[in-house]
Amino acid sequence: MHIHILGICGTFMGGIAVLARQAGHKVTGSDANVYPPMSTQLEQQGIDLMQGFDASQLEPQPDQVVVGNVMTRGNDAVEYMLNKGIRYNSGPQWLAENVLKDRWVLAVAGTHGKTTTSSLLAWILEYAGLNPGFLIGGVPANFGVSARLGEGPFFVVEADEYDTAFFDKRSKFVHYHPRTLIMNNLEFDHADIFEDLDAIKKQFHHLVRTVPGEGLLVVNAEEDNLNDVLGQGCWTPQEGFSEVTESDWRIANVSADGRRFDVYFNNEKQGQVKGHMLGKHNRMNALAAIVAARHAGVPVAQSIEALAHFKGIKRRMEVRGEVKAITVYDDFAHHPTAIKETLQGLRAAVGDAKIWAVLEPRSNTMRMGVHKQQLAASLADANRVVLYQPEGLNWDMQPVIDELGDKGQLFNQIDDIVAMLVEKACAGDHILVMSNGAFGSIHQKILDALV
């Protein structure tokens, strides 16, 4: 079968393309921006890519078009597809019908931590010899790819609440029908899609409704918003996890740098996680993965052992390089809570060393200024804050700088940020770059300029 994917270069749709190719289909695709690294990864899989969305790309007609949620009515390729009656569906629907329907699906939902928790869970299952399939919104270093079919019964999927397609405004995750569902957290995000927090809670409850009574909900016991969701009705057993409140699963005895902690289940110690990633949020992600893996049959001790061999994920506190004893990190942080937790984790690890926080507000919600009142407070653990005001941002970042006082600076040119950092950063400093986009390759520019 020939499948053409509209909007192929997004992380999710790129993963769909890889899965379709591994399933033996001929896969082509088009996108407005075809560039590395996604273009390179797809071409290595034997997938032909086309720039833009021209109707001629659908001639000769494919057997099926898979439509990404970036596509809208009025687009030439979309209008041609509809007028010619070409068979089409969405990425989540294709995934559900062609990959997930006969699998034990382990889904990871939440405002934060989906990529990390999905990566941890997939690695634990792999370490246990279960050869899982997965589709993750990032690239776990242990696998080197964001998606694969796998050969076992288990499939791990990052369950995104973003909408499905122009013709299906439900959240993506309602298509996945998980048997094991992790619910990490829930805050207001995606202001371009949801009117308010209650609208997101409604979609989360739609997801809860799809989990069978013989399944399992793995729920962050510290999240009141998740309690509100479950209060709307729940028909599936739950196991809660926490670091600060009583719950079925609990984190205790955290080391000073946060890299070691004990795991308790029903107040009985199960073991100690060692050498883990930074921050409370990542401890919670790890515990959620342990609980979900146990539901799939992996003993807790084996999961803990697997975590010691986890290599991290690209763009999640990824060390991009160190020059003259100055360390440069890349992180996907796109929401004040994620920014705060990332900085807290780094602060615990580096002690009194100077942290430079370099932030681009690139997500749709951040660009709309929805969280601007919380932004300055989220950056409290940084010694110096560098904010980038890109062209077209819908709000003025100067009030955030005013709130930060002497430790904040605002720039509208990336090269000026690089020049300032090269001049003022010193040996032992840590430069944390945060954006959910490419940020003009600023990480490499900093490293190159420091040499």
Position 124 in a domain: yes
Decide if 195 is inside a domain: yes
Considering the domain architecture, whether residues 269 and 333 belong to the same structural domain is answered as: no
Q: Do 284 and 326 have their domain in common?
A: no
Asked if residues 32 and 52 have their Cβ atoms less than 8 Å apart, the reply is: yes
Same domain for 292 and 329, yes or no, is no
Give per-residue pLDDT as tens, 308-350: 999 877 777 788 899 989 999 998 877 888 888 889 888 988 8
Do 182 and 124 belong to one domain?
Answer: yes
Residue 398, pLDDT above cutoff 70: yes
**DSSP string for residues in 282-340:** HHHHHHHHHHHHHHTT--HHHHHHHHTT---BTTSSEEEEEETTEEEEEE---SHHHHH
Residue 69 has pLDDT above 70, yes or no: yes
Q: What is the pLDDT of residue 290?
A: 98
Give the Cβ contact number of residue 402 at 10 Å. 11
Residue 338 corresponds to which amino acid?
A: A
> Which domain-ending residue is among 63, 90, 117?
90
- Mean pLDDT over residues 125-147, rounded? 93
Model confidence at 451, pLDDT cuts 50, 70, 90, reads confident
For residue 147, is pLDDT > 80? yes
Indicate whether 188 belongs to any domain: yes
Q: Which domain holds residue 411?
A: 318-450
For residue 158, the model assigns a pLDDT of 96
List beta partners, residue 134.
148, 156
Which of 65, 90, 115 is the last residue in one of the domains?
90
CA distance 161 to 193: 10
Question: d(Cα 112, Cα 359) in Å, to the nearest integer?
Answer: 17
Same domain, residue pair 182 and 216? yes
Q: What share of the chain is helix, strand, coil (3-state, %, to 5)?
A: 35, 25, 40
Minimum mean pLDDT range among 35-39, 136-140, 290-294, 426-430:
35-39
* pLDDT, tens only, 192-208: 777 888 999 999 999 99
- For range 246-250, the mean pLDDT: 95
Calculate mean pLDDT across residues 230-253.
95
Confidence band for 65, pLDDT divided at 50, 70 and 90: very high
Are 243 and 280 in contact by the 8 Å Cβ rule? The answer is yes
What pLDDT does residue 364 have?
67
Predicted local distance difference test score (pLDDT) of residue 375: 84
In a domain, 96, yes or no: no
The pLDDT mean for the chain works out to 91
**Taking residues 231-239, what's their average pLDDT?**
97
Same domain, 134 and 63: no
pLDDT, mean of residues 262-268: 96
264 shares its domain with 334: no
Q: What is the pLDDT of residue 296?
A: 98
pLDDT-wise least confident of 59-73, 139-153, 166-180, 321-335: 321-335
Of 29-43, 119-133, 210-224, where does mean pLDDT reach its minimum? 29-43
Domain match, 272 and 334 both: no
Burial class (CB in 10 A: 0-12, 13-18, 19+), 154: buried
114-121 average pLDDT score: 94
**CB-based contacts of 37, cutoff 8 Å, min separation 6:** none
The structure tokens listed for 192 are 């371009």
Residues 6 or more apart in contact with residue 136 via CB below 8 angstroms: 15, 115, 118, 119, 122, 146, 147, 156, 157, 158
Residue 312 lies in a domain: no
Please tell me the predicted confidence (pLDDT) of residue 36: 67
The DSSP secondary-structure symbol of 71 reads: -
pLDDT of residue 220 exceeding 80: yes
Q: Say what percent of the chain tops pLDDT 90.
A: 65
Residue 26 placed within a domain: yes
Whether the pLDDT of residue 372 is over 80: the answer is no
Chain centroid to CA 246: 27
Does the pLDDT of residue 144 top 80, yes or no?
yes
Among 307, 326, 345, residue at a domain's last position: 307
> What's the CATH number where 280 sits?
3.40.1190.10
pLDDT at position 276, please?
A: 67
User: In which band, very low, low, confident or very high, does the pLDDT at 191 lie, cut at 50, 70 and 90?
Assistant: low
* Integer Cα distance of 16 and 277 in angstroms: 28
The CATH number covering residue 432 comes to 3.90.190.20
Please report the pLDDT score of residue 439 as a whole number.
84
Say what the alpha-carbon torsion angle 374, 408, 402, 412 is, to the nearest 10 degrees.
-90
CATH number, domain of 30, equals 3.40.50.720
CA dihedral angle for residue 170, residue 172, residue 175, residue 177, rounded to 10 degrees: -120
- Alpha-carbon distance of 390 to 380, in angstroms, equals 22
Q: Write down the pLDDT at residue 86.
A: 97
* 262 and 360 together in one domain: no
C-alpha torsion angle, residues 210, 212, 213, 215 (rounded to 10): -120
pLDDT band for position 14 (cuts 50, 70, 90): very high
> Is residue 63 located within the same domain as residue 198?
no
What is the side-by-side strand order in the sheet with 384-388? 318-323, 326-331, 430-434, 355-359, 384-388, 408-411
Tell me if 164 is assigned to some domain: yes
In a domain, 400, yes or no: yes
How many angstroms separate the Cα of 123 from the Cα of each of 120, 136, 291, 346? 5, 12, 14, 24
pLDDT band for position 443 (50/70/90)?
A: confident
Provide the 3-class DSSP secondary structure of residue 239. strand
The token pair that represents 269 in the structure block:
């110690």
Q: Which residue has the higher pLDDT, 306 or 312?
A: 306
pLDDT at 149: 96
The total domain count for the chain is: 3
Cα–Cα distance list, 234 to 106, 116, 211, 228, 241 (Å) = 18, 26, 9, 11, 17
Whether the Cβ atoms of residue 12 and residue 37 lie closer than 8 Å to each other = no
Q: Which two tokens stand for residue 193?
A: 């899609």
pLDDT greater than 70 at residue 369: no
Same-domain status, 140 and 221: yes
Residues 146 and 281 in one domain: yes
Burial 239-259 (b: 16+ CB within 10 A, else e): bbbbbeeebbbbbeebeeebb
pLDDT exceeds cutoff 70 at 84: yes
Instruction: Please state the φ and ψ torsions of residue 160, each to the nearest 5 degrees.
Output: -85, 140
Question: Which is higher by pLDDT, 265 or 40?
Answer: 265
pLDDT over threshold 70, residue 434? yes
